[in-house]
A and B are shown apart, each in its own frame.
Chain A
Amino acid sequence: MCTYIVEKVEITGSAKGRNGWFASDEVVVSFDHPVHAMDDHTLNIDFLKSDGSPTDRVALEIRPSDALKFAKTILAVLDEAPDSLK
């Protein structure tokens, strides 16, 4: 089924897409059918430039159980980094 579960997050950062690096100011996180991954549903992450072209996109489609590991790893790495650097 198409779930349409979508959340958006404003960020400050950069992503490397098909035309090279671009400033990314928005991440769209969804749980829905993938285009390429071999699962019925995946955790999908799109790094976007909100005033850019739809092709300014870095796309990820991750198996849900792996997405959870990925998210925990992000939190763990952030925890390891000294507060003075964040």
Chain B
Amino acid sequence: MKDLDIKGGTVYFKGANGDEIEGYLATPVAEGSRGNVVVIHHMPGYDRATKEITLRFASMGYNALCPNLHYREAPNADSDDAAAASRANGGVPDDRLIGDVDGAKKYLAELPSSNGKFGVIGYCSGGRQTFLSACNLQFDAAVDCYGAFVVNPPAPEFPVRMNPIVDQAPNLSAKLLGLFGIEDQYPSPDEVKRLDEILTELGKDHEFHTLDNAGHGFFASDRPSYRVDAANRGWELIRDFFGANL
């Protein structure tokens, strides 16, 4: 598949509570009708690596928008400073996340090139937030990349505020692609298996892949957790999944 010519840059739109937030929008240069992808960044922030992922979706033929989930804590600050401020405040509240993803989706919907189909993808904490988004908003396709605490609560020794959200699974609106690493403990292969079983019992359309020689963060090409085999395979699965559903 030929990579398309693309363009990318900062846009502003209304997020949760009507607050203005920023996001990184990437689109093909050519006119046309195309699917849309909301990209949810990981906890370390609205960083260069996530913007590169957003650009990659544009090169694959989608309108892609990554909302800056830490914008309120530190408008116009460096992404690592904003992430630190968010971390000190306990992370991104679930209800605010849903509102911000909804705002990004609405922004994409208003683009003249939107075909009215929407996907969402997130990594690490964004994997859980992808599941949360797809249970509270209407999406056609969702990709959960190693999101923890969807089924299992944090271990007692972790003071994490994240609550399991599997009770929301009956409301899952989208087809779900799950990409996980066999060496990951959060989520562990057992937790992934349990989520797979729950979605099957509910009759929810989903496709899970637990990839060999991969742990948490295997897509992160600027981190030591990067596993090229798993990441390449993951991108192929995403290409086919979004290609079929967007």
CA distance A32 to B88 in the complex (A): 11
Instruction: Determine if B73 and A54 form an interchain contact, defined as CB atoms under 8 angstroms apart.
Output: yes
Instruction: Determine if A54 and B224 form an interchain contact, defined as CB atoms under 8 angstroms apart.
Output: no
Cβ contacts under 8 Å, B82 to chain A: 54
Name the residue on A nearest B184 (C-beta). Answer: A1
How many A-B pairs fall under 8 Å by CB?
80
B: which residues have CB within 8 A of A? 42-45, 47, 73-74, 77-78, 80-85, 87-88, 90-91, 124-125, 148, 158-162, 185-186, 215-217, 223-225
Instruction: Determine if B224 and A33 form an interchain contact, defined as CB atoms under 8 angstroms apart.
Output: no
A contact face: mostly helix, strand, loop, or mixed: loop
Chain B proximity mask over A50-79: 1 for CB below 8 Å, otherwise 0: 000111010100000000000000000000
Cβ contacts under 8 Å, B124 to chain A: 1-2, 33
Residue count of chain A within 8 Å CB distance of chain B: 25
Q: How far is the CB of A53 from chain B (nearest CB, A)?
A: 7
B contact face: mostly helix, strand, loop, or mixed: loop
CA distance A48 to B81 in the complex (A): 11
Name the residue on A nearest B126 (C-beta). Answer: A2
CA distance A6 to B43 in the complex (A): 14
Name the residue on B nearest A54 (C-beta). Answer: B74
CA distance A48 to B42 in the complex (A): 23
Instruction: Determine if A1 and B148 form an interchain contact, defined as CB atoms under 8 angstroms apart.
Output: yes
Instruction: Determine if B81 and A54 form an interchain contact, defined as CB atoms under 8 angstroms apart.
Output: yes
Instruction: Determine if B84 and A57 form an interchain contact, defined as CB atoms under 8 angstroms apart.
Output: yes
- The residues in A between 32 and 57 inclusive whose CB is less than 8 angstroms from any CB of B are 32-36, 38-40, 44, 46, 48, 53-55, 57
The 10 closest A-B pairs by CB, nearest first: A1-B186, A54-B74, A2-B43, A54-B85, A35-B80, A54-B81, A2-B125, A4-B160, A28-B88, A54-B77
Name the residue on A nearest B78 (C-beta). Answer: A55
Q: Contacts A2-B160, A36-B80, A59-B80 known; list 6 others, CB within 8 Å.
A: A6-B87, A32-B87, A40-B224, A54-B77, A55-B74, A59-B84
Q: Which of the listed residues A28, A33, A53 has the most CB atoms from chain B within 10 Å of its own CB?
A: A33
Q: Which of the listed residues B43, B84, B125 has the most CB atoms from chain A within 10 Å of its own CB?
A: B84
